[in-house]
Amino acid sequence: MKAEPLPYGRRKPSHLGNLTERDTLRSIALAIATASATVLAALALPLPARAGSLAGAATYRERIALPPDAVFEAVLIDTAIADAPARELGRVRLQPAGQPPFRFTIPYRDGDVTPAGRYSVRATVREGERLLFTTDTFTPVLNGGPSQPLSLKLVAVQTGRPPLPPFALGRLPASWRGDLAFAGGPSRWQVDLSADGSFQLRQTFLDRPAPNRFDDIGRWRIEPGSNRLMLRGGREAPLFFQPLEGGAALAKLDLQGEPIRSRQPDQLKRLATPQPIDPRLHLAGMFRYLADAATIRLCATGARLPVAMEADYRRLERAYLKAQPAGRTGQPLLVNLEGLITNRPSAEPGQPPQRTLVVERFVGVHPGRGCPQPNPSASASAASAPHSMASPSLSSLALGLRPGFKPDAPD
């Protein structure tokens, strides 16, 4: 029996085989439903959080030097809900703060920002628990706020405590240099100060054959009241200078911090631009090798530096790996060495050269020990006997003293 032909316009598609028209429509509807479900499921997936940032700078009007351990913080907050604590969206901390202006970038998540929010940035400067400076005005940002970079004004907080010392040193970093003549003979001095509270010093004895140079590193601070600059490094006693004319010069003081009664030159002049020395000295620090990167935290300054893999570095690395506790790789260990602190290309592309330690002679590794602490009684006894110089101990090595070199102290 022959099949009746389909009416005109009702040709059965060849790829449907024996499917009826109803089956065809059902298949098409199922395909549309499946595609729709797939699209809806994709739309329901959480989108990756996008990151935003706010950049700016903060400063204050007073000509006041911050202490080396001051900390700056800037916080992005939402104050839309009255009578409720502000909601924090992002925070950045500069530790140490250095000196103004404080340049910052606050990261935040774009998803946390809504049209109903009332966003602002507040900033503070603290020394420990003591609040030194803060913003005292509402600074709107984001939803219609000022464009970046932000400019924040900090005001001093009156706490009833003694005020910070005046800005005696001027802007940092800076270098001072001068030729001084004392009982030990003429010598050329250079002092480099950084805003993070660290210093570098070089004393070159002009009437002696080489080696006639003593390099030192350590921490500096301005003494409240007297405004004297105190340098505490590898010498048995701290050094004192009196800043003059807003940091245009440093007058050398004696070991008790008093003016030197002499007609000889006693001042170091500020250089037009910083010209930091590359100190070469005996150092101690907490060395660490992890993930093919070597770093050291210097005992004298607390600074963390990358270690160049050149010169005598391989001996240091082998001794460090041998001294590692079993099953605890990458632990910092105390080492001492003779080294050079200088600039080397940064490992990060596009970044400027960075201060790096070059190991010129590895001396030893000391498992189970940390950086020695300075002994105040030793400093006091040395101050009462200016020409005495004890033999270098590990404590003095940790502060950067080069063994076998005895710099003369001024009378």
Strand, helix or coil for residue 286: strand
Residue closest to 72 by CA, chosen among 61, 50, 52, 57 = 57
Q: Give the single-character DSSP code of 171.
A: S
Strand, helix or coil for residue 200: strand
CB-count exposure of residue 315 (10 Å: 0-12, 13-18, 19+):
middle
Please tell me the pTM assigned to this model: 0.58
Using CA atoms, how far residue 108 sits from 92, 114, 204, 383, in Å, is: 10, 13, 51, 53
Can you tell me the distance from the alpha carbon of 345 to that of 354, in angstroms, rounded to the nearest whole number? 6
Can you tell me the distance from the alpha carbon of 112 to that of 95, in angstroms, rounded to the nearest whole number? 27
Residue closest to 255 by CA, chosen among 409, 149, 138, 141 = 409
Residue-level pLDDT at 24 = 58
Can you tell me the distance from the alpha carbon of 71 to that of 196, in angstroms, rounded to the nearest whole number? 11
Residue closest to 294 by CA, chosen among 279, 284, 280, 309 = 309
Sheet containing strand 71-78, strands side by side: 87-94, 71-78, 119-127, 130-134, 150-156, 51-60, 102-109
pLDDT digits (tens, 9 = 90+) for 200-232: 999 999 999 989 999 999 999 888 778 899 999
pLDDT digits (tens, 9 = 90+) for 304-348: 999 999 999 999 999 999 998 877 788 899 999 999 999 999 877
CA angle in degrees (0–180, nearest 5) for 179-203-303: 130
Can you tell me the distance from the alpha carbon of 202 to that of 183, in angstroms, rounded to the nearest whole number? 18
Q: Amino acid identity of 169?
A: L
Lowest mean pLDDT among 132-146, 165-179, 245-259: 132-146
DSSP sequence for 64-120: BPPPTT-EEEEEEEE--STTSPPEEEEEEEESS--SSSEEEEEEEEGGG--TT--EE
59-84 average pLDDT score:
82
**Tokens 């907050």 appear where?**
77
The answer to whether residues 172 and 76 touch, using CB atoms and an 8 Å cutoff, is no
128-154 average pLDDT score:
81
Which runs of E-coded beta strand occur in 299-332? Answer: 304-306
Extract the tokens encoding 160.
């009833």
Lowest mean pLDDT among 79-88, 112-121, 174-183: 79-88
Residue-level pLDDT at 290 = 87
Can you tell me the distance from the alpha carbon of 303 to that of 119, in angstroms, rounded to the nearest whole number? 36
CA angle in degrees (0–180, nearest 5) for 206-338-384: 60
Lowest mean pLDDT among 39-48, 142-151, 348-357: 39-48
> CB neighbours (10 Å) of residue 281?
25
Torsion over CA: 344, 345, 351, 356 (sign): negative
**Tokens 């939402």 appear where?**
78
- Would the pLDDT of 61 be above 80? yes
**Tokens 């030192």 appear where?**
216
Q: Give the single-character DSSP code of 143.
A: T
Residue closest to 268 by CA, chosen among 362, 189, 375, 333 = 189
